[in-house]
Structure 1
């Protein structure tokens, strides 16, 4: 039913009400209060069902709205208005009401049939907006929600460090810092105009260059773009959906390289084999959004102690990944249901970029953003290929997300028990409960921890320069596996334990316990998995690498752009360029020379052409000049004349009357290259010299 018909029904109801009032007024004194005849129009409750006005029924609506306008005129009339005028209007209304009685009856019948439909429509309108806004209701309805998905749901607001910086220091401070940085960059750029530019200036776009659209910079799901980044496409990187779980609990996606991107990947690997950083820089200038090159040049900047540029290049790599994400991927990471398969080399670049960016966030002190990134890297692959669980537990405490950490560690125990390293990670529950004020819970967890992993707490006492109590004194890690987990945990959390509250509780609990019986504990812990070894390799801690499994640490291939990848038979290859690290060196060498030549031709194409044209022009001028002086002596004859040797010394050719041999020598010299030995002299050169 349209809004016009609904308004018409409302007006007819008002007419019936006014007719009854008029009938009662005629039986009485004849004086009727005017406002009763024309009540204020009620708000239209059915406006959501359709438009307010329809062009096809404007005339009818004007006629139907006439009673309302009459009522408004009466309500606005001055008090001195006569009662006879009101009686005439009452008569007109009664006549119109009687004439419209059949139509009203028909409308009432239609209303009886359509009333239920309207009520159902209203109920649907009330229910539908609420359904997608309640994730718990949605998870309960499809039965696919899990506790892990709820815990690992990502808030994209916390993925961007700029938001946390504004929360920490205020918007005005951040804006002023950005202005100062821009001014400093401008001064540095002007200072390098007449000098050789540095790496950061070389990679920046020149002033006045076209910029990326503001929407692309601001709405990227991973990082916020920068104005000076090149205005180019992602270069052939895309994302596709691979498969979905039957119960809807997860959806797998994959990054894909098209033919153009794969060719750049092959050029990148050729540069890696050569080992020349400047070739990598020039390749990045040509392909500014090639992820592997961005990460490799970021490593070069880090070696040059330019940590700011290194972090910015990691941001650009993540920005590239964010540009090609699909809407469903963005929705699923918010629910903790998006997955990427680590066996695909294209996907592994995302973990590497995310790890390096996370480390830069830690250096800046933006722990809340770093925690969100660690959660994202963990949620994308349940096997945790970068062992980000060993980053999550201490980042959660630094970001004051201890309540979330308690739930997360409890869920880990429910899923996998205390196998391998979970028992070590659970020791951070003591710190988490201290932070939220649960002293009794922290004490209970600490008692259980000292009895479960006494060698960890003995090493922790030593790191904190505290005397180990008799309950754990002399209990150390007796295997490389235990030593690895102990050193990794202490490396991450030593500073968190080094405070008065934590050390006081630690000493109090450990001294109050009896000697721990190690015979009742497991004989050894599970060895480090490839993900934990990969994390130790990236951290670069020699103390960790010394006790890491050598079989995993020495596996090949192992490149900086793809550290410790899975074995070849476990990879899922979809592009030619990603297979090059696994090929035999002799097979790689067959096409490497051609790739390098192609790269050099492409990157310096304009410059090489300009130089070649200049060289050709110069050579042409030299040859023309030499051909033009065919009757002049060659370079050797000129030198002999300067030294006073030969027939040209002291007298010119014209003075000798045009010697035939001299003319012949000049012609032969003109026919050869500049400065060539005259062909006509041969063995008689001495005769020419003596005249």
Structure 2
């Protein structure tokens, strides 16, 4: 373009010389020739540093050339300078405007066509408005499930509860002399100074694919890690806990061994050690993260069907449960969101059954309401008893009394079985009208659908502390009487909810809910009869389409139909445990059956088992670093952990 402008300027010069033949040579050379030569030289190099000019700019150059011809002497030189500066500023704006109009030409044409079609059809919806609403919905969902690193650290919440000085003093007392030189920065679990150093553990993570804006990862086990895993499976089947202890001593970060030993510690009521073992397993799992695996993005997925990935799900679930027991409910809520983001469609551990509880305990009432509003259509949240009642409580605390009354009454009409169990759990005496009304009297366990009873039992056992609030009880009593008034009026909604309740909660309990109930230590209603395989706490109820890397050794197992929760828990962590085995080889079977009927004999056997586990736990201590001089205080630190818990 610059060469064309130069040629045009040269042709204009020749033309002007031809038209001014009658003018004297002095007049041509001095004022015009000097000025044109200077402008010509300036334009030649100035155009090389500028972008391509449009035809309007060429005309502008022509006009300035004509103006320069009419000037004389120094005035010509100054005017050309001013016009050149002005032209630079103006040309930049015109170039941007020209390019912008060219880029948006197609978009404007499409929008004009759509507006014309909408006008002819009588519609006034703008495409840009629809796109904006869709974008807002997507961004709102990401915001609700977004995870923040600061909320994954329970120490931050403990500082808000007890103060930073107390937490720092407690930490220094527990880990005095410990070194953090070998520690890697992690967010889900904090490495304790007395933990051993992680070398080549054999656990890693790889990226499988990108699909629909999500990244799919999977854990990988090296050959050495597979050997340890096979050894662990044999130790579990052997019914010798000391074999698991020996694996932890040799491989202090083997994840499934830490999970299994944590359950044994929990059985012996050593909650501090049980929590620390789970935290160590979580630290190892996070240590093996892929560089692209970021928990805050919300687009990282782990396939629960793969056997190697289930350890992260189970460990996070157990970790947030321990955190909830330490009153770190805000941190537990963040881990619930993290667990849901790993598989939001399948939700293999049924975390939706507890996320509302931690939201209420953390006083995240508005977040809970937004969560239900945004995701109810996707997850059918209001069809679960926990969300039906928790949403009403959240609205009540937010001051929306009218809306809270409607939600609570609908929950009582849909799930009348909750009220008698809830009042009994809270030790609240029922008035005569409620206790004698058939709507709640007939709402017993025998008439409750089989798939609904475990959900109600789980909700009542977990949330009854919330309903002990002095402000909630009068509000609950008022709405219960209003519900009875609607039942006496025989409103159609009462019968509709009865039909929905009967149709929705029939059939077998989903495996995701069964896993949640078992990991929550609320084993009532768990469908043990559906499988002949023993239920393992580190891998409860594997999916039917499981992608297995390991095969558990085939050993004779005992299937018990007992409803005793203690027997079921013992069977989950020790599959060969048989409450009907002989105490002595020379014992008569008839005497053995009579001994089982005596509860004192059974409790004595359990007590001896717990004592043996306590003896084994004395050897479960992490290897100390050379710079750590707190060996003599190991027992004291364990006791302090229990007090803090």
Please state if 1:282 is matched with 2:246.
yes
Match of 1:537 among 506, 518, 521: 518
- Counterpart in the other structure of 1:221: 187
Please state if 1:269 is matched with 2:233.
yes
Q: CA deviation at 1:287?
A: 1.3
Q: CA deviation at 1:418?
A: 6.2
Q: CA deviation at 1:166?
A: 2.6
430 and 473 in structure 1: CA distance in 2 versus 1, 3 angstrom threshold: same
- Counterpart in the other structure of 2:541: 564
- Counterpart in the other structure of 2:298: 336
Counterparts of residues 398-417 of structure 1 (less than 5 Å)? 398-417=361-380
Q: CA deviation at 1:172?
A: 2.5
Counterparts of residues 169-568 of structure 1 (less than 5 Å)? 169-183=162-176, 213-214=182-183, 216=184, 218=185, 220-233=186-199, 235-245=201-211, 247-248=212-213, 250-330=214-294, 333-381=295-343, 382-417=345-380, 421-464=383-426, 465-467=428-430, 469-470=433-434, 472-477=439-444, 478-479=447-448, 480-513=450-483, 514=485, 516=487, 519-520=495-496, 521-522=498-499, 524=502, 525-526=505-506, 527-541=508-522, 544-545=523-524, 547-552=525-530, 554-567=531-544
Q: CA deviation at 1:407?
A: 2.1
Q: CA deviation at 1:336?
A: 2.1
Do 1:252 and 1:339's aligned partners in 2 also have CA atoms closer than 8 Å?
yes
Q: CA deviation at 1:449?
A: 1.8
Rounded Cα–Cα distance in structure 2 between residues aligned with 1:324 and 1:171: 31
Rounded Cα–Cα distance in structure 1 between residues aligned with 2:404 and 2:521: 32
Asked which structure has the greater CA Rg, the reply is 1
- What SS is found at the alignment partner of 1:314? helix
Rounded Cα–Cα distance in structure 2 between residues aligned with 1:509 and 1:271: 55
Rounded Cα–Cα distance in structure 2 between residues aligned with 1:112 and 1:280: 76
Rounded Cα–Cα distance in structure 2 between residues aligned with 1:252 and 1:483: 36
Rounded Cα–Cα distance in structure 1 between residues aligned with 2:151 and 2:318: 17
- Structure 1 portions without partners, runs of 5+: 1-99, 125-136, 187-206, 587-691
Do 1:458 and 1:475's aligned partners in 2 also have CA atoms closer than 8 Å?
no
Q: CA deviation at 1:457?
A: 2.5
Q: Deviations over 1:311-358 (max 9, x none)?
A: 11111111111112123220xx32322211111111111111112111
Do 1:233 and 1:289's aligned partners in 2 also have CA atoms closer than 8 Å?
no
Do 1:314 and 1:356's aligned partners in 2 also have CA atoms closer than 8 Å?
yes
- Counterpart in the other structure of 2:551: 579
Rounded Cα–Cα distance in structure 1 between residues aligned with 2:388 and 2:238: 46
- What SS is found at the alignment partner of 1:334? coil
- Root mean square deviation of aligned Cα: 3.6
Q: CA deviation at 1:515?
A: 5.0
- What SS is found at the alignment partner of 1:339? strand
Q: TM-score, normalised by structure 1?
A: 0.57
Q: CA deviation at 1:585?
A: 6.5
Do 1:236 and 1:258's aligned partners in 2 also have CA atoms closer than 8 Å?
yes
Q: CA deviation at 1:101?
A: 9.5
Match of 1:166 among 150, 153, 159: 159
Do 2:205 and 2:218's aligned partners in 1 also have CA atoms closer than 8 Å?
yes
Rounded Cα–Cα distance in structure 2 between residues aligned with 1:213 and 1:234: 14
320 and 456 in structure 1: CA distance in 2 versus 1, 3 angstrom threshold: same
Rounded Cα–Cα distance in structure 1 between residues aligned with 2:132 and 2:289: 24
- Structure 2 portions without partners, runs of 5+: 1-37, 53-87, 101-129, 558-645
- Counterpart in the other structure of 1:157: 150
416 and 307 in structure 1: CA distance in 2 versus 1, 3 angstrom threshold: closer
Do 1:251 and 1:338's aligned partners in 2 also have CA atoms closer than 8 Å?
yes
Rounded Cα–Cα distance in structure 1 between residues aligned with 2:391 and 2:473: 15
Rounded Cα–Cα distance in structure 1 between residues aligned with 2:337 and 2:479: 32
Counterparts of residues 615-630 of structure 1 (less than 5 Å)? none
Q: Deviations over 1:447-474 (max 9, x none)?
A: 2222222222343333331415446441
Q: CA deviation at 1:537?
A: 1.9
Rounded Cα–Cα distance in structure 2 between residues aligned with 1:152 and 1:580: 36
Rounded Cα–Cα distance in structure 2 between residues aligned with 1:440 and 1:143: 28
Do 1:459 and 1:476's aligned partners in 2 also have CA atoms closer than 8 Å?
no
Rounded Cα–Cα distance in structure 1 between residues aligned with 2:169 and 2:425: 42
Rounded Cα–Cα distance in structure 2 between residues aligned with 1:138 and 1:153: 22
- What SS is found at the alignment partner of 1:563? coil
- Counterpart in the other structure of 1:81: none
Q: CA deviation at 1:273?
A: 2.2
- What SS is found at the alignment partner of 1:251? strand
Q: CA deviation at 1:392?
A: 0.4
Rounded Cα–Cα distance in structure 2 between residues aligned with 1:343 and 1:240: 16
Q: CA deviation at 1:106?
A: 5.5
Q: Which has the higher contact order (CA 8 A, sep 6+)?
A: 2
Do 1:412 and 1:422's aligned partners in 2 also have CA atoms closer than 8 Å?
no
Do 2:353 and 2:386's aligned partners in 1 also have CA atoms closer than 8 Å?
no
- What SS is found at the alignment partner of 1:481? coil
- What SS is found at the alignment partner of 1:379? helix
Rounded Cα–Cα distance in structure 1 between residues aligned with 2:235 and 2:254: 13
Rounded Cα–Cα distance in structure 1 between residues aligned with 2:377 and 2:419: 24
